Amino acid sequence: MRPNDSERSEEIIEATSRFCSILRHAFVDEDLPGHVMQELVGGADRIVRCLSRKIDSTFSAARCGSSSTLACKHVLNALARTFFVKRLASQVQEETLGSLLSDLLFWILNVRVSLTGEGDYPTILKALNVLVVKILENGSCTSVFLALIDLLGQGADIGMVEL
C-alpha cells in the first residue's frame, strides 16, 4: 500500500459517513429544509458517478489493509443507501448505471475480492449483491434495462456472450 492510501481511505470513510448521515436525516427529519432534498435528488447521478469512481481504487487497495477494506465497505454502503431511496435511484442516468453495474458485476465475479481481510469476503460479496438488487428494484426501469442491454452487447462484442 502506498503511503497516501491510508489517508485516502480515511478521507473516503469520513466523506461517505457524512453522506450517509445526510441521507438518513433527509428522509427521516421532516424539519429538514426542502432545498436539501431537492439538492440530493438533483445531484443523484453526480453523487453515484463520484462514488462509482471509488469502487475500483478501494477494492484494489482492500487487499492491502483493513482501513482500505473499511473504505470499500463505506463506498458500497453509501451507494446502497442512495439506491434504497427510489427518488434518488430513479434519477441516476443510463450511462452511470451501465458503468456502475459493469464495475459491480466485475467485482462480484473477481476472485481478488476473496483476498480481502479475514471474514470480510462474505460481507463484501453480500453488499455487492444487495446493491445490484437495489439498483434493479429502484433505478429507472428504462435506464436499467438499457444499461443491461448495453452490457450484454459489450459481452457479445468481445465474445463472452453468444446471442
100 phi and psi, to 5 degrees? Answer: -65, -50
Helix pair angle (66-84, 3-26), 10° resolution: 20
3-state secondary structure of 32: coil
Residue position matching grid coordinates 453495474? 101
Give the start-to-end residue ranges of the domains of the chain: 3-157
pLDDT digits (tens), the chain, 163 positions: 344 556 677 888 888 888 888 888 766 655 556 777 788 889 999 999 999 998 888 887 766 656 678 888 889 999 999 999 898 999 999 999 999 999 999 888 887 776 666 567 788 889 999 999 999 999 999 999 999 999 888 865 555 544 4
Q: How would you write 42-58 as a 3-class SS string?
A: HCHHHHHHHHHHHHHHH
In the block, which residue shows the cell 439506491?
Answer: 83
